Amino acid sequence: MYSIARPIENRPYCQDCHKQGKTIAYLDVDVSLTPAERAFYTGSFHIIMLSVLIVILLVSGFYYLFNRFINSPVQSFISALDKVKAGNMNIRLPAKKKDEFGILEQHFNHMVNTVEQSHKKIEEMHIEQLQRADKLVTLGELAAEMAHEINNPAAVIMTRADYLRLELDKQRNGNTSHYLEDLDVILSQTDKISKITSSMLKYSKKLPKDFKKINIFKLIDESIRILEPRLKKKNIYVNKEYQCKYDCQEAIVYGDETQIDQMLTNIINNAIDAMEVNGILTIKVECLSNYNVRLSIADNGCGIDEKAKGNIFSPFFTTKGHKNGTGLGLYIVKNICKNHNAEIICSSAPDQGTTFTITFNGANNR
Ligand SMILES: Nc1ncnc2c1ncn2[C@@H]1O[C@H](COP(=O)(O)OP(=O)(O)O)[C@@H](O)[C@H]1O
Ligand SMILES: [Mg+2]
């Protein structure tokens, strides 16, 4: 049966008889379906039901296949990666399949093998380094002790040689003059020994840190005052520049006064060595923020070539010959910077002068 019901509206021409209301009646038509029509509607219902069933089956099938062949291998891959990330190097994947996942699993196993081997190597190196560091500490202590032990006999040799030199000088004649030359050699070489041992001693004493607020201008002035005889001898002009990026009156760094003083002296001494007469030494201080100070010491001396630049911070590296250099100055400077968490950069080229820039980042030391 097919039925349709429709309202009959109250139009103006109906209103002669039907005075009120919007709808005056309902037209209800009932038509009974023919067998063909009935078959059509039942067939359509079956087709719809079948389609729904097929869609459900297809979705479930896809879900199952996706889960079995994509999701599950990806999940096990992710969990294996997580375990490796957590440090478990014993994880391996089956890598039996011939598909892309099989290849991926092979690569994963290879990667874990490599990481495991590198891990082992790093661990071995770490243990080796710890042992070496231990040996170095002992060697350092031994060296400091030796420096102390050598210093005393060196001082005695120097005093005696000096005395002999004075005596020989008093009785100077043709026969003794070459002895005087020999004594000069003894004196200069003993002086070198004493310079090296006192640097070593000074360095070995550096460790106790006495960190406090330091006015860097005051330290620079003091270093320049101490080195004045050397500066005057070469008629070197000292140019001081000061820049402040924020409103401060003094450049304050947080550090150990003795160590920073030693650092300034070592760098300025090298600058004096590098310059001819009438050279210019420029000391620039920039305050970047609180305790964050950039200090640069520049000279217009002989400069450093690329090859030497790679070695200047190494202990005992010197280009000044064994008579004049110990090669410990910049090694000590580098270690003082390390102690202060400061960065040191050297920019130099032959005949272009040299600039050492040290940036104190005091915030980390407070
Ligand atoms: N301002 C500079 N100009 C040119 N060379 C420098 C300067 N500072 C350091 N050097 C080079 O670095 C080397 C190492 O310096 P340092 O460790 O102080 O030892 P030393 O002064 O006893 O040679 C010096 O021999 C020199 O070649
Ligand atoms: Mg030096």
CA of 218 to the centre of ligand 2 (A): 22
User: What is the enclosing helix (H) or strand (E) of 217?
Assistant: helix 216-226
CA dihedral defined by 32, 37, 40, 45, rounded to 10 degrees?
-10
Q: Which of 122-136, 173-187, 204-218 has the highest mean pLDDT?
A: 173-187
Give me the pLDDT at residue 211, please. Answer: 86
Cβ atoms 7, 26 nearer than 8 A: yes
Q: Which residues are within 8 A (CB) of 81 and not within 5 positions of it... i.e. 6 or more apart? A: 108
Which pair of tokens denotes residue 113? 């093998």
CA 232, 233, 237, 241 dihedral sign is negative
Angle between helices 257-274 and 329-339 (to 10 degrees): 140
> Whole-angstrom Cα distance, residue 151 to residue 193?
8
Ligand positioned closest to the Cα atom of 349: 1
Q: Which of 87-91, 188-192, 282-286 has the highest mean pLDDT?
A: 282-286
Pick the closest to residue 346 from 307, 290, 317, 304 (CA basis): 304
Average pLDDT for the chain: 86
Say if residue 59's pLDDT is above 90: yes
Q: Which residues are within 8 A (CB) of 243 and not within 5 positions of it... i.e. 6 or more apart? A: 284, 285, 286, 287
Cβ atoms 333, 266 nearer than 8 A: yes
Say if residue 206's pLDDT is above 60: no
Q: Rounded to 5 degrees, what angle do the CA atoms 28, 30, 35 make? A: 165
- Which residue has its alpha carbon closest to ligand 1 atom 8? 270
CA of 366 to the centre of ligand 2 (A): 30
Q: Are strands 292-299 and 354-361 parallel, antiparallel or unpaired?
A: antiparallel
- Which residue has its alpha carbon closest to ligand 1 atom 4? 303
Give me the pLDDT at residue 32, please. Answer: 78
Instruction: Tell me the percentage of the chain whose pLDDT exceeds 70.
Output: 93
DSSP bridge partners of 299:
281, 354
Ligand positioned closest to the Cα atom of 303: 1
Question: Number of helices (H) and strands (E), helices first, in the chain?
Answer: 10, 9
Ligand 1 neighbours, Cβ below 6 Å, are 266, 270-271, 274, 299, 301-304, 308, 312, 317-320, 325-331, 354
Q: Are strands 252-256 and 292-299 parallel, antiparallel or unpaired?
A: unpaired
Give me the pLDDT at residue 363, please. Answer: 59
Q: Provide mean pLDDT across the span 41-48.
A: 90
Cβ atoms 201, 144 nearer than 8 A: yes
Question: Could you tell me the pLDDT band of residue 366, with boundaries at 50, 70 and 90?
Answer: very low
Classify 121 as helix, strand or coil: helix
Give the mutation target among 192, 266, 330, 351 for probing the ligand 1 site: most ligand atoms within 8 A of CB. 330
Say if residue 356's pLDDT is above 90: yes
Ligand positioned closest to the Cα atom of 268: 1
Q: Which residues are within 8 A (CB) of 280 and not within 5 positions of it... i.e. 6 or more apart? A: 236, 237, 239, 299, 300
Give the mutation target among 227, 268, 270 for probing the ligand 1 site: most ligand atoms within 8 A of CB. 270
- Which residue has its alpha carbon closest to ligand 1 atom 9? 270
Classify 354 as helix, strand or coil: strand
Say if residue 221's pLDDT is above 80: yes
